[in-house]
C-alpha cells in the first residue's frame, strides 16, 4: 500500500520505518529540513534500537522517500498517517495546532484528488478532536466525510527505547471510527503486527492513551510509596513487590478495574488506614495512598448529587450491605449515602433481604446501630412495599433487581450505583453513576 506519514519525529519515524519494512511504500512528510535530510540519506531522525537499520534498508530499496510537498504525498498515497506532536500548553491542555495545520494541508490536497482517502491519527489527541479534523478537511476539500474520505483514530503504544519492538508487539492495535470499510483497510497494514486488531468508536480510541499513561504513572507512584514504606521497615522493597505482582487473580488483573460505586467493608478501609499509620509512624509522606479515601468519599458525594438533581424527597434503597451476597454493613458506602440523605431531611426506605436485624451480631451490629441508630424505621420487609412508598429507587445490589422488577418502576426514577445490565435499563427515568 502507498502511505504518507505526516511528521517524522519519534512516532512518525518509527511508524514509517516499520511500515516500509513490511513492504509498503512510504512518503515521509515534514516541514523540518534537517529531518528530511537525515531521512533522505538513510538515517533515522531519532535514536531507537533497530530503527536506523530498517530506515537505511527502506531508503536503499526506494520504499521510503522524504519531502515537504504535502499535495504530492496525499495524491500518491491511499492512507495518510498523522504523527505530528501535540505538546502541552501552559494551561495543561494539548497544543493541537500542528494537527489542525496538517488537516488543512490534507484537505487542500484532497480538493484535487478523486479517489477515496483514509486519514489515520496516531498522535495523542483528546476526545472530540477527530470530529474537528473531519470538519477542517471537509471545509478545505469541499469533500464529504465517509463518502470521499474518512478520519480514524489509531493510537500508538510505543515506549522510547523499545519502540520498534513495541510496534510489532503492542497490547492490541486499536482503530476508532465509524466507517467500517476504512477501518478494515487501515487494519490491513498491521498484518505483520503480533496483536489483535480491535475496532471501537472514535472517543474510546482518542481517550485510551491518556488513561493508559495515567495508570502507568499511578503504578510507578504506588510502587514508590510502597517502596519507601518497606525501606522504613528494613525490608527489601524489590523482593516485596515481586511477591505482590505474583497475585494475578486480584492484584494484577481486571478485578476492581470497573467503574462503579465506592469501596467499603471490613478490610479495604481498615487496611488502607493501617498502611497510612505505618507510614506516619515512620515520618513518611505518601500523598497517593492518602488520596485514595478522599477519592472514595468523592464518589459518595457524586451519588448524593445525582439523587439531589432528581428533586424528589422519598428515596428507596435496594440493598445497603457493602456488596451483594453478604449481610455485612461495616463501612458500607451505602450507609454513608443514607446518612447524608437523612441529614438533608430526605425520607429514606431500605429493602435488603440479606439484612435481618435479629441475626446481625458482633462488630457488624455495633457499626450498624452506631451509624443508623433507628435503622428499623427505615427497613421495609418487601420489594412491593418499598416501591409503593418512594419516588426514587437507588439500586445498590444487582442481585435484587430483575427485568420483571424494573417493569414495575416505570413511574419511578432509577439511580443505578452498581451498573445493571444494559438490557434492564430504561431511557426516560434512569441515571447511572458514571455510565
Q: What whole-number distance in Å separates Cα of residue 285 and Cα of residue 4? A: 50
| pTM of this structure | 0.89
Do 193 and 320 reside in the same domain of the chain?
no
Do 195 and 223 reside in the same domain of the chain?
no
Which of 13, 140, 230, 267 is the catalytic position?
267
Low-confidence ranges of the chain (pLDDT < 50): none
Which of 165, 200, 235 is at the close of a domain? 200
Domain that holds residue 136: 2-200
Residues 304 and 337 sit within 8 Å (Cβ to Cβ): yes
Residue 207 lies in a domain: no
Residues 300 and 333 sit within 8 Å (Cβ to Cβ): yes
Do 353 and 388 reside in the same domain of the chain?
yes
Q: What per-residue confidence (pLDDT) applies to 403?
A: 56
Q: What per-residue confidence (pLDDT) applies to 410?
A: 76
- Reading the block at residue 341, the C-alpha cell is 440523605
Q: What per-residue confidence (pLDDT) applies to 277?
A: 97
Residue 415 lies in a domain: yes
Q: What per-residue confidence (pLDDT) applies to 402?
A: 66
Count of domains for the chain: 3
Q: What whole-number distance in Å separates Cα of residue 225 and Cα of residue 306? A: 34
Q: What is the DSSP string of 34-68?
A: HHHHHHHTT--SS--TTHHHHHHHHHHTTSEEEES
Do 299 and 227 reside in the same domain of the chain?
no
Residue 372 lies in a domain: yes
- Active site (annotated) includes residue 140: no
- Please count the other Cβ atoms lying within 10 Å of the Cβ belonging to residue 44: 22
Q: What per-residue confidence (pLDDT) applies to 423?
A: 74
Residue 362 lies in a domain: yes
Do 251 and 346 reside in the same domain of the chain?
no
Q: What per-residue confidence (pLDDT) applies to 271?
A: 96
Do 187 and 129 reside in the same domain of the chain?
yes
Q: What per-residue confidence (pLDDT) applies to 407?
A: 66
Q: What per-residue confidence (pLDDT) applies to 121?
A: 99
Which of 177, 200, 223 is at the close of a domain? 200
Q: What per-residue confidence (pLDDT) applies to 226?
A: 98
Do 320 and 407 reside in the same domain of the chain?
yes
Residue 290 lies in a domain: no
Model confidence pLDDT, tens digit, residues 368-394: 999 999 999 999 999 889 999 999 999
Do 185 and 218 reside in the same domain of the chain?
no
Element containing residue 167 per DSSP (H, E): helix 163-168
Q: What is the domain-level CATH number for residue 356?
A: 3.40.50.720
Do 129 and 217 reside in the same domain of the chain?
no
Which of 175, 200, 225 is at the close of a domain? 200
Residue 361 lies in a domain: yes
Residues 86 and 98 sit within 8 Å (Cβ to Cβ): yes
Amino acid at each position: 500500500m502507498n502511505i504518507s506519514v505526516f511528521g517524522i519525529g519519534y512516532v512518525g519515524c518509527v511508524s514509517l520505518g516499520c511500515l516500509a519494512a513490511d513492504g509498503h511504500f512510504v512518503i515521509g512528510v515534514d516541514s523540518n529540513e534537517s529531518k528530511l535530510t537525515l531521512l533522505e540519506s538513510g538515517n533515522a531522525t531519532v535514536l531507537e534500537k533497530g530503527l536506523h537499520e530498517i530506515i537505511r534498508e527502506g531508503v536503499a530499496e526506494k520504499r521510503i522517500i522524504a519531502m515537504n510537498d504535502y499535495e504530492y504525498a496525499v495524491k500518491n498515497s491511499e492512507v495518510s498517517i498523522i504523527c505530528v506532536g501535540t505538546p502541552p500548553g501552559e494551561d495543561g491542555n494539548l497544543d493541537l495546532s500542528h494537527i489542525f495545520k496538517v488537516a488543512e494541508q490534507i484537505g487542500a490536497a484532497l480538493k484535487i484528488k478523486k479517489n477515496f482517502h483514509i486519514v489515520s491519527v496516531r498522535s495523542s489527541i483528546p476526545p472530540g478532536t477527530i470530529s474537528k479534523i473531519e470538519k477542517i478537511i471537509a471545509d478545505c476539500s469541499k469533500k464529504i466525510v465517509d463518502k470521499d474520505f474518512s478520519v480514524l483514530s489509531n493510537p500508538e503504544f510505543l515506549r522510547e527505547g523499545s519502540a520498534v519492538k513495541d510496534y510489532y508487539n503492542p497490547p492490541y492495535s486499536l482503530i476508532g471510527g465509524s466507517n467500517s470499510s476504512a477501518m478494515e483497510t487501515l487494519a490491513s497494514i498491521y498484518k505483520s503486527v503480533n496483536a489483535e486488531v480491535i475496532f471501537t468508536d472514535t472517543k474510546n480510541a482518542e481517550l485510551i492513551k491518556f488513561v493508559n499513561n495515567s495508570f502507568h504513572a499511578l503504578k510507578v507512584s504506588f510502587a514508590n510509596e510502597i517502596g519507601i514504606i518497606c525501606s522504613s521497615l528494613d525490608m527489601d522493597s524489590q523482593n516485596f513487590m515481586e511477591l505482590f505482582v505474583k497475585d494475578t487473580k486480584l492484584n494484577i488483573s481486571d478485578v476492581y478495574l470497573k467503574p462503579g460505586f465506592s469501596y467499603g467493608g471490613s478490610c479495604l478501609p481498615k487496611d488502607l488506614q493501617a498502611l497510612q499509620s505505618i507510614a506516619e509512624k515512620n515520618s513518611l509522606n505518601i500523598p497517593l495512598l492518602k488520596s485514595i479515601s478522599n477519592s472514595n468519599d468523592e464518589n459518595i458525594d457524586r451519588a448524593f448529587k445525582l439523587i439531589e438533581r432528581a428533586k424528589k424527597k422519598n428515596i428507596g434503597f435496594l440493598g445497603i450491605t457493602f456488596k451483594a451476597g453478604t449481610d455485612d454493613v461495616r463501612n458500607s458506602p451505602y450507609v454513608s449515602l443514607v446518612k447524608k440523605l437523612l441529614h438533608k431531611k430526605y425520607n429514606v426506605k431500605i429493602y435488603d433481604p440479606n439484612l435481618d436485624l435479629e441475626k446481625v451480631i458482633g462488630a457488624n451490629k455495633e457499626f450498624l446501630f452506631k451509624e443508623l441508630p433507628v435503622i428499623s424505621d427505615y427497613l421495609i420487609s418487601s420489594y412491593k412495599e418499598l416501591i409503593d412508598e418512594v419516588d426514587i429507587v437507588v439500586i445498590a445490589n444487582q442481585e435484587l433487581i430483575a427485568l420483571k422488577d424494573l417493569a414495575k418502576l416505570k413511574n419511578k426514577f432509577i439511580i443505578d450505583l452498581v451498573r445493571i445490565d444494559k438490557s434492564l435499563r430504561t431511557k426516560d427515568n434512569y441515571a447511572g453513576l458514571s455510565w
